[in-house]
Every structure is written in structure tokens, then in C-alpha cells.
Structure 1
Amino acid sequence: MKCVLLNPPLSSPFSPPLGLVSLGTYLRRQGIDVTLVDASIEALHYRLAPHRLLPAAERGAALLQRRVPWEPALPACDRLSNRANPAAAMQAVHGILPTIWSRDAFELDPARHDEQLETIHDALILSTADAQPAALGLGGYDEARASFAPGSDPFLDYYREVLVPAVVEAAPDVVGVSIGYERQVAFAATIIAELRRKLSGVPIITGGSFVSALCINLRPSSGRTVPLRGGTPTCANLLASMIDTAAVDGEGEAPMAATCRAIAAGRSLDGIAGVVRVDHAAQTIRFGPPSPPLAGEALPSL
């Protein structure tokens, strides 16, 4: 049984997804062959490679200079840029980013951590300003649930040229996509759509803390189903939009291991503790029984 676990954009370039690492370690102890992919860091690294970034950032700086003041372009980012204007940010990007970008990763200098994050943040906004209706920084879009018009995800080239071919080459029996934050939803949706084009028969399981938060909000007090309301922007519809084959509700270790075993044995995923599915015919979300939390000693150490 081969499993690929993905962390979609967008998170800090210096913060690995420890929850996904823990899940992967647990699954390996269950005899599952796991490949971990931090697509968030890889996508940032790909997008901000100097030969791709600088021409796009120059166009973005000119666009922002003409259309909007600098700081109002960033109303919901985690940290506003302290640069005076797009031209000043462009100078910083030119001066700093190439010194911390390397072929394999961004080179972290603890003494310059804040400066480096700020530069990457500004570079991302500048490089996407000519393609997006909203500002995209390290904190995500200024509209948290922003979705993309077909082909407009700023990381689409990375998915098609790097991520999807790597996943296909790994020949997984199941793919897991962890959505820990609302800002990852639109990116995850694009990744799942791209994977589905190439891996038509491979189950794709979503999970992560944001998925679990929606499940907690929706989990029925009695029964196992929640109705979907067509066209209405409810939590149920948002959760359903994030479910391809199934989703994991709560801690991912035991439900994902059980899901992998069921897939390997050719069994249905219905009724697995902690697993959620969409019944499109009945227009409902079906919850499996609650999955009890693992005992502390059963959790892998990092």
C-alpha cells in the first residue's frame, strides 16, 4: 500500500507541516509506504525562483503603483508590509530575495528571519498582482474563501510541471491532502482537480484541522447524515466541496490507517470511524462513527 500525503499552499517557507509528518510516521508504523510532499514550500520556491519572479514582480509593482496604494492591497494578510510603496518593495525583492533563494530551499538566517519573511511576502504579492483579483501574501488571499477562475491559480505551473508528475510517478494507492487553514481550500481544490485528471481511479482523502473544524460544526447529534442545500453557501456545502473520495474527521492517524487497509482490501469506506463521505444521489454528507483519540503512547514522536 502506497500513500502520498500532501500539504497544499500556503504556509511559511520556514515552517514544515509537523502534523502531516506525524501522520506519515504513524502510517509507516502500520506498514504503509508513505511519501510526504510539502507542496506549499515547493510551490513558493518554484514561483519565487528569481528567473520567474523578477519579471512578474516588476509587472506587479507597476500595476499596484498605478491602481492602488500599497498597504490597502494587503488588508487581511497576517502582517502588513512596512515598505512605503510597491517600488520600494520591488527594490527590496531585487536586493534580498536572490540572496536567500537556493536551488533546494530558502536559506534561513535566524538573524534576518523577519526581514526574509517580509521580502518573501512582498515578492509573492508583487508576482501575483497582475493575475489575481485579490492580494496574495504569505497569509493567503484577502478574501479567505477566494476561488480561482479556471487556470488562474498562481501555482498551476508548479502543479502541472512538478507536483502532479511526481505524484503519478510515485504510483500511490491513495492520496491524502491536508487542509489545515481556510486559506488552503482553493489551492487544495486545484491540486485535487489536477490529480484527478491523471489519477482517475485513485482515492483522494482530505483532512486536516480546517476540515475537522467544519466536521465538528456539522456533526449531527443523532443519526449520521447532514443534508446539502443546493447552491446555498453553507458549512455543509463548503465541506462537501472539499471531499473527493472521503474526508477524515478529527485526528487523522487511526482513520487514515483504517482507510488505507480498506482500500487495500477492496472494501467500502462507509462506516469507518472518523471517515466522512458525500452521497451525491441523496444530497447528504454521511459521517462515520466517531474515532476515539489515540492514547499518548500510540502517537509517534517527531
Structure 2
Amino acid sequence: MKIGLVFPPPFDLTQPYLSLPMLASFLSRQGHKVVQRDLNLAYYDHVLTRSYLLQVIEMAREVLDGQASAERNSEWRDLLNRAVTVGPVVAELIDSAKAELRDATAFYDPDRYAKNYRILHRGCELLSAAFFPSRITPTTYVRGYETETIAELLAASKPCPRNPFAAVFEELFVPDLVALDLDIVGISVVYSDQIIPTLTLSRLIKAKAPRVPILIGGDVFSHMARLPESNIATLFEFIDGFVLDDGRAPLSALCNGTPLQEIPGIITRGGSKRPAPTPARLENYDTFGAPDFSGLPLQKYFAPPHVLPLLSGKGCEWSKCLFCSESFSKHYAPQSTDVVVGTIERLVDDYGIRCIMFADVDIPPERLAALADKLTERRIEVSWSCYARLTRWMDRALIEKIAQAGCRRLYFGFESASQRVLNLMRKGTQIAKVPEILESCWTAGISPHLFTLVGFPGETLDEAMSTAEFLVDHHHHIGSFNLGAFRLQTFSDAFINAETLGVESTLTPAARADALAHDYRVRGGTDIDDAVLLSAKLTQSAYDRISKVDASFQLHAGSNYVGRKGVPPWNSHSLAYLRNYGSGWNARQERPARVELGEAQLPLSAGYVEVERSTDGHTVIFNPRNGKFLSLEQKMIQLLDYCDGSRSVHQIVNRMAAHGVADSHAIQGLSQALREDLVTLVSSRNDRREFVTESAARASRAIP
């Protein structure tokens, strides 16, 4: 049998998702030929190119010139305006941005990294302008309006000019898959953002190869198939079956000739089989074997090719948190530590990797200790990160042990600083222990990330504020944090116990039948919008307060993620930086602070793109040197215009004085422009060049 395994967009562009390499390894060992296609990577690699973005800009220009509807929607109009003004600059920068993210030297220059990271987001904003109301980022895809029912998902997945995936899939990916002459196509769907791309792809494949069975697997449809009133049967028009839970046995049976309708664990058209209410307990996870990455283009991921994911166990040992859908399964199947460490050795030998990202929901303390002992015993030099729980067993001795074995990053579900709220959530965390755990991590060289949330049913405003207060008070031992809002997920215990918690879904009955997550209202009047707004306000407040005493943090635009300056926000990238520089490093001290009058004879050169002028006298500009948008007063714009490469600091200051601007204010403005990389000052570039050279040297020493 020849099986095509496909992973659709969107997902992390810096590494493969594990479902394809794990299944490929299993099926290959049974003698089947497996072809892996990471269409998430292929899609973004195609649309984030100069040639494609120039086409997108023309689409935006045509819309802006010809559609009155764009004038009525201010968000769309702003996106279109930016597309036609900034778009050409972004298009010229996009290919080099991708190349530098893949380059093992340029990657470790924090300023170049930050610029390239922003350019990718700017490129996706161009896509959002052309395919509005879709909003596309390098990791997410959301419709501008709710697609709540399967009927609405079907409508949204039809190939049409507003579907951002259809044309690329039809032109590039479907012909490739059809030409492979596959016996089976399996598509892995693990996030709800992937539903519309998956349905679009399935439609197009079935139209070109109607006899090839298309099977959909992964958590999303495994959950959807178990919804009591789900209309999933309507998808059988172009999908032949839904593989529930662990796909190994069903795929193996199909490859060995068992008729599709007779295979347990696959839901088919007209079949009488109903899925079990919960997933079956996994057998010994050791039988999964090591993932096979050989069929994937590792050199094309948007990162230097030395970071790979690994799963050491399925499920969560705790499985009690009310808000989490992991409590749905309540099964935990760990691999033996010998198998895990043996796999790491193979990845080091086969791919030259130096960083491992464990994708487990949670690695319990006793397994962390055992893994650390094995890694140390076998002298395997890798840096790694994982998810763990804040428990009393996460003590200083364990933390020092795993740090010595290469752990550089720990992701903790902190959630709340209120013990009462933690008890309501059934977290099993004692808040009094958390500061010591964080301090132990930081001292040992491990950068902790804290996931937090507000709006849990029963939480008071004071309790939500206490969580932000904790982040401020303990920021010196925190690498990063994000402050999210409570989400009501269908397969969580919170949904099952919604009436007791005083929560009700606000979806229509038709939408509720197909929903994996719900808009909601909490008794007393609060709803999901209140929680989202509160999380944004508390994030901004916490960041502002931290910044007053510690300049080493930054709030990433458009998110609730606060992290150390110079440490990338993407997980695999942050691990690579922490391996290279250490947990306490940040780049803030490398940027010169101000222009000095002693540099009066040196010319200054500015470069920016004007986007729009607002009624309050400010002008929004785009800085191609770092990919940032800025809103500047008119005096600042005038100052930048004098930085034309022919005038010295002294001449610029004199020009501004003629317009009534004091010398000190002009110098302050030039210093700000220098910090924002809006101007080039020749004398300050030598120090910068030495820093970049040393960064590159450190990076080359860290990479085999």
C-alpha cells in the first residue's frame, strides 16, 4: 500500500507536527510505502514570497478601487491601505526574511531576528487584506465571522475567491498528491483553525481522484464525531471516513485489505458504528517507536534545522483540571525512559539535532528525574524544554538535576494566584510553593513560562487582579507569561458541570450541536467578551508596571504574551536562543541610547514608508529596517525628513531650531529615532558590528 499522510495549515512554521512522523514510522515498519506532505509549511512557503505577495497587493488595490463595501468596513479599509502602501516594501523583504530565519548565523542576531519575525507577520497581514474577512497569521487562521455549524463550515470551505487556500491547493498541492498515485490519503487535523483548510483540500482531492479514500484523523474530528447531535454525516460527500483517536490500528487494517466499513475506530458513510463515548485506553506507548522525519524537508522550516519535537507520553497524568479538554480521556500512556532516550540518541545521530521540544501535555516529576538521569548517564548533550505542573515535588533538587541534563525551558500551567480559584479549577497547585519553584528554575538556568487565565466561573475581579500582581512581584524569576481568558470547551469537565458552575452556552441550539468550544455567559452577567477584555487590560497593566522597574521585558504586539527582550516568542526559537545565550540574556543593552553632539559632523539617514495621516495630527509610518508600525507626531516626521543622508546632526538640529524646536528636543527626537532603528548613525555601527560578529561566532559554536 502507498499512503499519503498530509498535515494542513495553519500551524507552527518552525518545526513539524509529530502526527505524520509517528504514523509514518509505524506504517513503514509494516512494509508500507509512506509519503509525508507538510502542507502547512508548503502553503506558507508559497504565499510568503515576493511573487505571490505582489499578486496579493494587486488584489487589494483592485478591491480598494472598486468596492464600496471596503469603505463601510474600517478594519478592512485599514488593511487595504496598508497593503498598497507598505505591501511593496514587505514583498521585497519577505524572501530574505525567510532565508535569515533559516540561517544559523543571522538567526542569532536579535535585531535581525525581530525584524524578520515582524516581516512574516506583515506578509500575513497582506493576505488578510486580500482575503478579508479571513485573518491569517503565521500560526492561525480565523474567519471574520463565526462559522458555528458544520453546514457553515461546509459553505466556508467551498473553492471561491474569498477562500485563501483554494487556489494554492488546486494549483500546486492537489496535482502533486494525485500524481503520486496513492492508495489512501490521510489528513491529520489537530486544531480547529485547520478545519476549513482541511475541508477545502478534501473537496479538491475528491474532485480529481474520486476513487482514492480520504480519511481524516486527529483530535478535532475525534471529538466532533462524539458530539451527541453532530451533523458530521454531511461531510461524507467528499470524505470517506473519520479515524478516531489512535490511528495506527485502523490504518494498518485498511492497508492490509480490511473493508473500510468493517474497521473498528473508523466512522464511515451509512455505517451503524457509533463511537465510544471516550477514547480507548492506549496500549503500551513503547510500540509507537521513534518518529520518522526523513520524509519531511527539515531544511525548509523557518528555523535553523537543529530543533525537533518529541513525545514521551500521551495524555495527562493529572487529568483533573476543570477547564481542560485533556480531562476527557483521563488516560496516560508514557513511554519507557530507555525508549525516549534511545530516540533522542537516534535524532542526534540521524539529524544532528541539539534541541528537543517535548510535546507532552505534562511530564510528571518522577519521569523528569528518570529522563535526566538517563541523559546524564549516556552523556547526551541536548538542550530541551517541556510542559510540567507546579507541584510540591518540583523541588530545588529536581530542578537542578534536569538543568544539568540540559533543560532550558519549562512551561507551567500557573492559571491563578488565588488558592481558592486554583481549588475551584482542581489544579492541585499550592500557590505558596510557586515562588520557590520559579526562583529555583531561574537560578538553575531554566527559563519558566507561566500560562495564566482569568474569567474562570466564580473568580472575583480582586482574584483576577491578584494574578497580575503575582506576575509583577515575581517577574525577576519569570522568562515569559501570557494572560489568557477562560474558554468553555465541550469536552472539559467545566462544560459537563456547567450548571453547577453557573455557566451557560450562548450559542444557538443548531450551533451548539457541532461546537467544540462555546461562547458563554456566567451567572451574574459576565461573558467571554468580558474575560477577553479583562485579560488584555491586566496584561497591559502588568507589563507597564514591570517596565517601570525592569526594562528587559517586552509585550508582543497583538497578543497577551510578555517575554524577555531578545528571546523569541516562538517556542522552538526561544529554546535555541536560551541554549545559545542562557536564560538571563536579553538584547536591550546593545542598542545605543542617544545621539551625542560630539557626532555633529556625521550624516544621518532615515528610511520609512508613510501609511496614513490621522485627524489628530499623527502619521502612521512603516519602518522597513525592523518591520514596525509607529504613530509619530508631525514634528518627528519633519525631523526624519531632514535625515536624508546629506545632513549632519548639527545641521538637522539647526533646521529644527528654525521651526521652533529646542536643540535638546531635537537631540531627544534623534535619539528616539536611533533606538527605533529609524536612522542610521555611522559612528555607532562599529560596536554593533562587533556584537553581531560575536553573536554569529557563539551561534556557530552551538550548532554542529
Contact 2:9 2:43 in 1 (8 A): yes
State the one-letter code of the partner of 1:166.
D
Q: Which residue pairs with 1:300 in the alignment?
A: 289
Give distance in 2, aligned partners of 1:183 and 1:148. 12
The answer to whether the aligner puts 1:241 opposite 2:266 as a matched pair is no
Contact 2:50 2:92 in 1 (8 A): no
Contact 2:159 2:166 in 1 (8 A): no
Give distance in 2, aligned partners of 1:89 and 1:52. 15
Give distance in 2, aligned partners of 1:194 and 1:106. 32
Query: Displacement, 1:137?
Result: 2.6
Equivalent residues in 2 for 1:181-192, closer than 5 Å: 181-192=191-202
Larger deviation: 290-299 or 12-21? 290-299
SS where residue 127 of structure 1 aligns?
A: helix
Contact 1:58 1:90 in 2 (8 A): no
Q: Which residue pairs with 1:36 in the alignment?
A: 36
Distance 1:188 1:197, change over 3 A: same
Give distance in 1, aligned partners of 2:85 and 2:233. 41
Contact 1:245 1:277 in 2 (8 A): yes
| TM-align CA RMSD | 3.4
Q: Which residue pairs with 2:252 in the alignment?
A: 257
Contact 2:98 2:116 in 1 (8 A): no
State the one-letter code of the partner of 2:57.
A
State the one-letter code of the partner of 2:245.
G
What TM-score, normalized to structure 1?
Answer: 0.74
Contact 1:206 1:248 in 2 (8 A): yes
Distance 1:72 1:151, change over 3 A: closer
- Output one character per residue of 1:154-174: Cα deviation in whole Å (capped at 9) or x when no partner: 232322222112112211111
Contact 1:277 1:287 in 2 (8 A): no
Q: Which residue pairs with 1:97 in the alignment?
A: 94
Contact 2:190 2:220 in 1 (8 A): yes
Query: Displacement, 1:240?
Result: 4.6
SS where residue 287 of structure 1 aligns?
A: coil
Gaps of 5+ in 2: 148-152, 292-704
Query: Displacement, 1:87?
Result: 7.1
Give distance in 2, aligned partners of 1:285 and 1:186. 27
Q: Which residue pairs with 2:186 in the alignment?
A: 176
Query: Displacement, 1:175?
Result: 0.5
Query: Displacement, 1:259?
Result: 2.4
Give distance in 2, aligned partners of 1:208 and 1:237. 18
SS where residue 194 of structure 1 aligns?
A: helix
Q: Which residue pairs with 1:198 in the alignment?
A: 208
SS where residue 150 of structure 1 aligns?
A: coil
Q: Which residue pairs with 2:14 in the alignment?
A: 14
Gaps of 5+ in 1: 75-84, 219-233
Which structure has more RCO (C-alpha within 8 Å, separation ≥ 6)?
1
Larger deviation: 291-300 or 107-116? 107-116
The answer to whether the aligner puts 1:123 opposite 2:97 as a matched pair is no
State the one-letter code of the partner of 1:185.
I
Percent identity among equivalent residues?
22
State the one-letter code of the partner of 1:151.
C
Q: Which residue pairs with 2:141 in the alignment?
A: 140
Contact 1:144 1:182 in 2 (8 A): no
Distance 1:151 1:98, change over 3 A: same
Give distance in 2, aligned partners of 1:238 and 1:132. 27
Query: Displacement, 1:38?
Result: 0.6
Q: Which residue pairs with 1:151 in the alignment?
A: 160
Q: Which residue pairs with 1:82 in the alignment?
A: none
Equivalent residues in 2 for 1:51-62, closer than 5 Å: 51-57=51-57, 60=60
SS where residue 273 of structure 2 aligns?
A: strand
Query: Displacement, 1:29?
Result: 1.2
State the one-letter code of the partner of 2:198.
A
- Output one character per residue of 1:48-86: Cα deviation in whole Å (capped at 9) or x when no partner: 221111341365389689745559989xxxxxxxxxx66
Equivalent residues in 2 for 1:69-108, closer than 5 Å: 90=87, 93-94=90-91, 96-101=93-98, 107=102
Give distance in 2, aligned partners of 1:208 and 1:286. 18
Contact 1:73 1:135 in 2 (8 A): no
Q: Which residue pairs with 1:269 in the alignment?
A: 260
